């Protein structure tokens, strides 16, 4: 037995080293559009301090050297993390210079150069390795932590090895951390730590890490709210979990909110960044309904195609409401609750970006490997995680290896290799609409199958009958994790 365990650990190390090698090879030569924007946000923070959210709108993007007029719509923790990296690498200098050459304006803000036309239309955005490499190193570190957490949560051994491999070597996971660069891995790492501690009865500490996840990215609200509802069954303990969540949330957010016009306005900025509309470009849209409606709107016209996008909250409210009822009256474990709660949002939200799918994979894998029975649902969920990675090979990935890299630093050999050997180079919108429709249909199928399965229905009815006959409902002092530790 010890020999087998040692073999699994050796394979785990080999798998992690393989995943890290792929990421290290890719990270110095590519970056997405958000990373240069993060530098602009740190300039604003260094200038205005805790008044940052008062200036987090695109009105003054030129003044602070933002490459894009995109608002900051995240909680404070990522901003603090980016600022620490900036101070370590570049110091306190927040100056922005403008140089005009042949009716072209070069806006230089530290490692970021934005090339603008004479009327300030964005032509090019270039960012130095000195900025995007340190950030992506952080993302990769958290990516690796998520991988190990999945291994532990899924029961170590063979099951844990397969589970962690499905996450760490998933092409979409590799893309987000080492090619495009986004911090969803940080959020889901905190949340998985919270789940790991929760099933071991460490309620307060579990709540603290859940709070850290919440102040990293607000998308964790959907699984976390459902998790709190699930924990209400342990009425004597859940208060410690909620207090734990409140501690980092209040410590990190309150100083910013105190300098904002109102808490309501702060929540509106962070949780409702834009009104539902068409999702362009379509190859970055991962909601099938929005993608199809956008395609029809652009090709046929007519505001009728905007209606399903604007009413996205109706299917969300119905499905999420049913999940709440199931949490209250069904014996659902914390991994099932978290996966279904997050997927309810990614299946219905009108604008699903590719980075949102990384936490979906990270929550889907423990859902599969900590459960028994329901083989069809587990197989369908595994297929979902593999299907997500297909996009990586469809998209002309060489784009991110040149669009934001200084022209004299582009690795054209890698760009050509990617465009000729590693990518299907699909540009047709219809293909991406079909991909998004299948992706959304898979999520709906898993959700509905969970909610309408015979086991779930019988459990719900049995619990309702029991509660109607008992004057004092029985409470629980533990969380049933159904996980092999």
How high is the mean pLDDT of the chain? Answer: 91
Residue 385 domain boundaries: 136-399+425-469
Could you tell me the CA-to-CA distances from 45 to 86, 251, 367 in Å, in that order?
11, 18, 39
Pair (347, 464) in one structural domain: yes
Q: What is the pLDDT of residue 34?
A: 97
Q: Are strands 104-109 and 112-117 parallel, antiparallel or unpaired?
A: antiparallel
pTM, two decimal places: 0.92
Pair (339, 250) in one structural domain: yes
Render pLDDT for 430-439 as a digit per residue (tens, 0 to 9): 999 999 999 9
Nearest CA-CA partner of 181 in 109, 113, 133: 133
| CA angle centred on 328, ends 464 and 271, rounded to 5° | 145
Helix-strand-coil split of the chain, %, nearest 5: 70, 5, 25
Pair (320, 395) in one structural domain: yes
SS3 for 456? Answer: helix
Q: What is the pLDDT of residue 370?
A: 87
Q: What is the pLDDT of residue 477?
A: 45
Give the whole-angstrom CA distance, residue 46 versus residue 82.
Answer: 11
Question: Is position 475 within any domain?
Answer: no
Give the whole-angstrom CA distance, residue 73 versus residue 271.
Answer: 7
Pair (386, 280) in one structural domain: yes
Pair (148, 240) in one structural domain: yes
Nearest CA-CA partner of 189 in 150, 162, 163, 161: 150
Q: What is the pLDDT of residue 472?
A: 46
Residues 132-139 have a mean pLDDT of 98
Render pLDDT for 225-252 as a digit per residue (tens, 0 to 9): 999 999 998 888 999 999 999 999 999 9
Confidence of residue 475 (pLDDT cuts 50, 70, 90): very low
Q: Pick the residue with more confidence: 476 or 2?
A: 2
Pair (272, 336) in one structural domain: yes
Residues 173-202 have a mean pLDDT of 97
Render pLDDT for 53-62 as a digit per residue (tens, 0 to 9): 888 888 879 9
Pair (140, 279) in one structural domain: yes
Question: Is position 5 within any domain?
Answer: no
Q: pLDDT at residue 452 above 60?
A: yes
Provide the phi-psi class of 333: left if phi over 0, else alpha when psi is between -120 and 50, else beta.
beta
Q: What is the pLDDT of residue 458?
A: 59
Dihedral (Cα; 262, 266, 271, 274), 10-degree rounding: 100
Question: Is position 143 within any domain?
Answer: yes
Render pLDDT for 363-378 as a digit per residue (tens, 0 to 9): 999 999 987 667 889 9
Question: Is position 20 within any domain?
Answer: no
Instruction: Among 414-418, 433-437, 479-483, name the one with the lowest average pLDDT.
Output: 479-483
Q: What is the pLDDT of residue 267?
A: 72
Q: pLDDT at residue 347 above 60?
A: yes
Give the whole-angstrom CA distance, residue 4 versus residue 216.
Answer: 38
Confidence of residue 258 (pLDDT cuts 50, 70, 90): confident
Q: Are 168 and 362 in contact (CB under 8 A)?
A: no
Q: Pick the residue with more confidence: 37 or 258?
A: 37
Question: Is position 272 within any domain?
Answer: yes
Among candidate residues 98, 127, 156, the one where a domain is terminated: 127
Residues 341-351 have a mean pLDDT of 97
Pair (110, 182) in one structural domain: no
* Percent of the chain's residues with pLDDT above 70: 91
Q: What is the pLDDT of residue 455?
A: 55
Q: What is the pLDDT of residue 265?
A: 72
Residues 153-159 have a mean pLDDT of 90
Nearest CA-CA partner of 298 in 321, 283, 279: 279
Pair (163, 59) in one structural domain: no
Q: What is the pLDDT of residue 474?
A: 45
Question: Is position 11 within any domain?
Answer: no
Question: Is position 318 within any domain?
Answer: yes
Give the whole-angstrom CA distance, residue 455 versus residue 374.
Answer: 9
Render pLDDT for 61-101 as a digit per residue (tens, 0 to 9): 999 999 999 999 999 999 999 999 999 999 999 999 999 98
Pair (161, 257) in one structural domain: yes
Pair (336, 383) in one structural domain: yes
Question: Is position 19 within any domain?
Answer: no
| Partners of residue 100 on adjacent β-strands | 105
Q: How many domains does the chain have?
A: 2
Among candidate residues 88, 103, 127, the one where a domain is terminated: 127
Q: What is the pLDDT of residue 13?
A: 95
Q: Which H, E and C letters describe 209-244, residue by residue?
A: HHHHHHCCCHHHHHHHHHHHHHHCCCCCCHHHHHHH
Pair (266, 385) in one structural domain: yes
Cis amide leading into 293 (omega within 30): no
Q: pLDDT at residue 301 above 90?
A: no
Confidence of residue 112 (pLDDT cuts 50, 70, 90): very high
Q: pLDDT at residue 484 above 70?
A: no
Q: Are 476 and 234 in contact (CB under 8 A)?
A: yes
* Burial classification of residue 412, based on how many CB atoms lie within 10 Å of its CB (0-12 exposed, 13-18 middle, 19 or more buried): exposed
Q: What is the pLDDT of residue 432?
A: 98
What sections of 356-476 are H helices per DSSP? 357-369, 375-394, 412-417, 429-452, 454-469
Q: Pick the residue with more confidence: 48 or 476?
A: 48
Q: What is the pLDDT of residue 449?
A: 93
Q: What is the CA radius of gyration of the chain?
A: 23
Provide the CB-side half-sphere exposure for 286 (13 A, CA).
25
């Amino acid at each position: 037995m010890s020999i087998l365990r040692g073999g699994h650990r050796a394979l785990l190390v080999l798998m992690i080293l393989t995943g890290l090698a792929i990421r290290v090879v890719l990270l110095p030569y590519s970056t997405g559009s958000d990373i240069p924007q993060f530098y602009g946000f740190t300039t604003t923070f260094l200038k205005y301090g805790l008044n940052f959210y008062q200036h987090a709108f695109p009105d003054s993007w030129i003044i602070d050297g933002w490459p894009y007029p995109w608002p900051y719509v995240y909680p404070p923790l990522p901003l603090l993390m980016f600022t620490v990296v900036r101070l370590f690498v570049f110091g306190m200098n927040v100056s922005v210079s403008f140089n005009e050459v042949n009716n072209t304006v070069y806006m230089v803000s530290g490692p970021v150069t934005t090339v603008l036309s004479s009327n300030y239309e964005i032509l090019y955005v270039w960012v130095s390795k000195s900025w995007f490499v340190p950030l992506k190193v952080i993302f990769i570190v958290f990516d690796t932590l998520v991988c190990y957490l999945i291994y532990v949560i899924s029961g170590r051994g063979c099951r844990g090895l397969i589970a962690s491999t499905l996450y760490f070597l998933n092409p979409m996971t590799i893309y987000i951390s080492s090619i495009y660069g986004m911090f969803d891995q940080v959020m889901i790492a905190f949340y998985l730590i919270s789940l790991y501690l929760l099933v071991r009865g460490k309620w307060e500490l579990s709540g603290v890490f859940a709070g850290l996840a919440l102040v990293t990215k607000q998308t964790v609200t959907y699984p976390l709210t459902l998790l709190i509802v699930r924990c209400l069954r342990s009425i004597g303990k859940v208060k410690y979990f909620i207090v734990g969540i409140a501690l980092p949330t209040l410590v990190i957010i309150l100083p910013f909110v105190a300098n904002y016009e109102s808490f309501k306005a702060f929540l509106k900025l962070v949780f409702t960044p834009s009104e539902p509309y068409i999702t362009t470009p379509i190859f970055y849209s991962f909601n099938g309904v929005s993608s199809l409606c956008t395609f029809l709107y652009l090709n046929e016209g007519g505001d009728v195609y905007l209606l399903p996008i604007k009413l996205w909250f109706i299917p969300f409210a119905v499905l999420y409401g049913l999940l709440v009822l199931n949490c209250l009256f069904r014996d659902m474990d914390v991994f099932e609750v978290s996966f279904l709660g997050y997927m309810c949002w990614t299946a219905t939200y009108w604008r699903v970006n590719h980075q949102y799918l990384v936490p979906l994979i990270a929550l889907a894998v423990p859902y599969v490997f900590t459960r028994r029975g329901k083989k069809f649902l587990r197989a369908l969920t595994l297929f979902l995680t593999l299907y997500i990675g297909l996009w990586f090979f469809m998209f002309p990935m060489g784009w991110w290896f040149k669009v934001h890299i200084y022209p004299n630093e582009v690795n054209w050999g890698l760009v050509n290799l990617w465009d000729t050997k590693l990518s299907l180079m699909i540009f047709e919108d219809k293909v991406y609409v079909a991909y998004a429709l299948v992706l959304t249909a898979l999520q709906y199928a898993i959700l509905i199958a969970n909610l309408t399965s015979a086991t779930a229905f019988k459990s719900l009815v049995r619990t309702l009958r029991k509660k109607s006959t008992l004057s004092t409902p029985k409470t629980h002092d533990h969380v049933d994790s159904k996980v092999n530790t």
